[in-house]
């Protein structure tokens, strides 16, 4: 009887340890707790984040970018999105733009081209929106499952609102083989 | 009666005898046994200090997984002229290492300046590269995208007084995804063991010397010529000095 009781104690301790381990591994880590607050939208509709508004007007993809006389190729495809963005209540800028694929990989806008519209280069005044295009390099296989992410902080996007707009590209393999150009940002009156 | 003795009586006797012996032996015998065991362990190397395990030395072309990146060192060349880059001293030379880098982390990354460290070469003006450029268009390296391998030129400047190496040993830095003790957030960080961090891998690569007079036709790959000038821009602000995108319709 005594042996059985001891075995019972040991089994109880092991079960408690296993339950604790299961709870710890099941709960999301601290990064999950600090994640941005998503504000979701679709192409053609305006999304209102905490400090700015954003609307994706058009999306296309191509094998290369043409910037003046320069051709920028890629081993994947270029995703080009035409945006209309504006400040909500006070002067602000969009300093972070990226695309997240279905596997959770995040591709920031290219730094091979200067993109002031989404790298903090344009401080927007409320009521004076900007329009322009941005470019993101992604693997061809990822092009069909992308969501555009926009935030106003380039360093840390945690625990702040982030615009999330699904990009309707069905197949990266069907992107244009011809180089595409980028529209420069322009203030709309 | 016999059954009672065999099941309970003998076991109880055995336990009593064992407990009695232990009670008599302790604490002196316990210490003696511990010291003897330690001594025997020491005879067989149990007390020897163990050096950190070193990764095996690999040959060029072998991928090295370093946590948030995978680096495949491909080749190295020494040359005097490299596009528009200017040497600190005219008698110096460039040491260009070509490697393919794939970001294995889930988001875009900027490589640390000490991603690669070199052994077997003297006279470097800095232990970290003077510059790094994409091989595809020779633009200056900044951001790499996840799962999109890029061929990168890592460029060091070597004193002209130092000998040209015939081969170099390249150590690839590694990071681990771990919890930050201050913020509790998880990041790719250097090891928290302190001191020198064991590299993810060590690669030995031969060095080709291309010290002939500058020619009009640059050689490809490791001998190519980066030109880290201004980037093309989609902003009208700098359109005057670089090609710019068209106006918004």
The pLDDT tens digits of the residues spanning B226-244 come to 554 445 666 543 333 333 4
Calpha distance A59→A169 (Å, rounded): 8
| Burial (0-12, 13-18, 19+ Cβ within 10 Å), B3 | exposed
A98 touches chain B (CB under 8 A): yes
| Burial (0-12, 13-18, 19+ Cβ within 10 Å), B136 | middle
- For residues A79 and A154, membership in a common domain is answered with yes
Options 3.40.1130, 3.40.50, 1.20.1740, 2.60.40; CATH of B57-223: 2.60.40
Region A64-86: what's the mean pLDDT?
96
Chain A closest-CA separation from residue B46 CA (Å): 31
User: To the nearest whole percent, how much of chain A has pLDDT over 70?
Assistant: 99
pLDDT for res B223: 41
Rounded to the nearest integer, the mean pLDDT of chain A is 94
Q: Reduce the DSSP state of residue A138 to 3 states and report it.
A: strand
Question: Half-sphere exposure of A112 toward its Cβ, with a 13 Å CA cutoff?
Answer: 24
**Tokens 């994640």 label which residue?**
A35
pLDDT for res B2: 41
pLDDT for res B130: 96
Cis check: omega of the bond before B71, within 30 degrees of 0: no
Calpha distance A131→A55 (Å, rounded): 9
Decide if A182 and B184 are in contact by the 8 Å CB cutoff.
no
- For residues A71 and A120, membership in a common domain is answered with yes
Domain boundaries, chain B: 8-43, 57-223
- For residues A42 and A11, membership in a common domain is answered with no
H or E stretch including A17? helix A2-26
- For residues A44 and A107, membership in a common domain is answered with yes
- For residues A104 and A15, membership in a common domain is answered with no
Q: Nearest-CA neighbor of B82 among B27, B117, B132?
A: B132
Instruction: Name residues whose C-beta falls within 8 Å of residue B18's C-beta, 6 or more positions apart in sequence.
Output: none
- For residues A26 and A114, membership in a common domain is answered with no
Q: Which residues of A touch B227 (CB under 8 A)?
A: none
Range of the domain at A13: 1-33
Calpha distance A120→A93 (Å, rounded): 5
Q: Which residues of A touch B179 (CB under 8 A)?
A: 29-30
pLDDT for res B217: 42
A34 touches chain B (CB under 8 A): yes
pLDDT for res B213: 59
Statement: residue B151 has pLDDT above 60: yes
| Burial (0-12, 13-18, 19+ Cβ within 10 Å), B145 | buried
pLDDT for res B44: 85
Structure tokens at A87: 């400040």
A76 touches chain B (CB under 8 A): yes
Specify the DSSP class assigned to residue A44: T
Q: What number of residues does chain A have?
A: 189
Question: Domain with A135 in it: what CATH number?
Answer: 2.60.40.1240
Q: Which residues of B touch A123 (CB under 8 A)?
A: none
- For residues A162 and A99, membership in a common domain is answered with yes
- For residues A77 and A119, membership in a common domain is answered with yes
Please report the number of interchain residue pairs, chain A to chain B, with beta-carbon separation below 8 angstroms: 123
Give the lowest-confidence range in A72-76, B41-45, B134-138. Answer: B41-45
Instruction: Name residues whose C-beta falls within 8 Å of residue B132's C-beta, 6 or more positions apart in sequence.
Output: B111, B140, B141, B152, B153, B154, B155
Statement: residue B64 has pLDDT above 90: yes
- The total domain count for chain A is 2
Decide if A182 and B245 are in contact by the 8 Å CB cutoff.
yes
Q: Which of A67, A98, A104 sits opposite B234 (nearest CB)?
A: A67
Statement: residue B23 has pLDDT above 80: no
pLDDT for res B55: 84
Count CB-CB contacts under 10 A for residue A128: 12
pLDDT for res B194: 65
Q: Nearest-CA neighbor of A159 among B145, B188, B185, B182?
A: B185
pLDDT for res B5: 42
- For residues A15 and A57, membership in a common domain is answered with no
pLDDT digit string, tens, across residues A118-160: 998 889 999 999 999 999 999 999 999 999 999 999 999 999 9
Decide if B248 and A131 are in contact by the 8 Å CB cutoff.
yes
């Amino acid at each position: 009887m005594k042996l059985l009781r001891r075995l019972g104690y040991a089994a109880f301790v092991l079960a408690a340890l296993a339950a604790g381990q299961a709870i710890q591994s099941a709960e999301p880590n601290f990064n999950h707790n600090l994640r941005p607050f998503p504000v979701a939208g679709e192409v053609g509709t305006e999304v209102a984040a905490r400090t700015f508004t954003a609307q994706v007007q058009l999306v296309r993809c191509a094998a290369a970018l043409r910037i003046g006389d320069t051709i920028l190729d890629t081993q994947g495809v270029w995703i080009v999105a035409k945006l209309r963005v504006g400040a909500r209540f006070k002067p602000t800028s969009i300093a972070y733009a990226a695309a997240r694929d279905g596997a959770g990989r995040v591709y920031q806008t290219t730094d091979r081209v200067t993109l002031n519209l989404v790298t903090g280069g344009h401080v927007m005044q409320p009521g004076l929106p900007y329009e322009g295009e941005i470019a993101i390099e992604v693997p061809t296989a990822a092009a069909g499952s992308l969501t555009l992410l926009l935030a106003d902080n380039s360093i840390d996007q945690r625990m702040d609102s982030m615009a999330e707009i699904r990009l309707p590209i069905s197949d990266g393999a069907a992107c244009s083989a011809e180089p595409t150009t980028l529209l420069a940002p322009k203030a709309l009156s | 009666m016999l059954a009672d003795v065999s099941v309970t009586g003998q076991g109880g006797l055995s336990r009593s005898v064992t407990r009695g012996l232990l009670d008599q032996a302790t604490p002196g015998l316990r210490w003696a046994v511990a010291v003897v065991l330690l001594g025997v362990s020491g005879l067989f190397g149990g007390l020897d200090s163990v050096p950190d395990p070193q990764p095996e030395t690999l040959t060029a072309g072998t991928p090295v997984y370093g946590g948030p990146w995978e680096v495949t060192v491909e080749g190295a060349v020494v040359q005097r002229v490299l596009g528009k880059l200017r040497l600190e001293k005219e008698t110096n030379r460039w040491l260009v290492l070509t490697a393919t880098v794939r970001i294995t982390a889930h988001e875009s990354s900027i490589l640390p300046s000490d991603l690669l460290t070199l052994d077997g070469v003297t006279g470097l003006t800095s232990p970290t590269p003077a510059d790094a450029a994409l091989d595809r268009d020779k633009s200056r390296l900044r951001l790499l995208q996840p799962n999109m391998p890029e061929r990168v030129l890592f460029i060091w400047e070597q004193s002209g007084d130092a000998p040209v190496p015939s081969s170099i040993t390249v150590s690839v830095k590694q990071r681990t995804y771990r919890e930050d003790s201050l913020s509790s957030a998880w990041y790719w960080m250097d090891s928290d063991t302190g001191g020198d961090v064991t590299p993810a891998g060590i690669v030995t690569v031969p060095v080709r010397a291309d010290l002939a007079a500058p020619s009009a036709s640059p050689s490809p790959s490791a001998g190519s010529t980066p030109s880290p000038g201004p980037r093309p821009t989609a902003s009208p602000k700098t359109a005057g000095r670089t090609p710019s995108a068209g106006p918004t319709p």
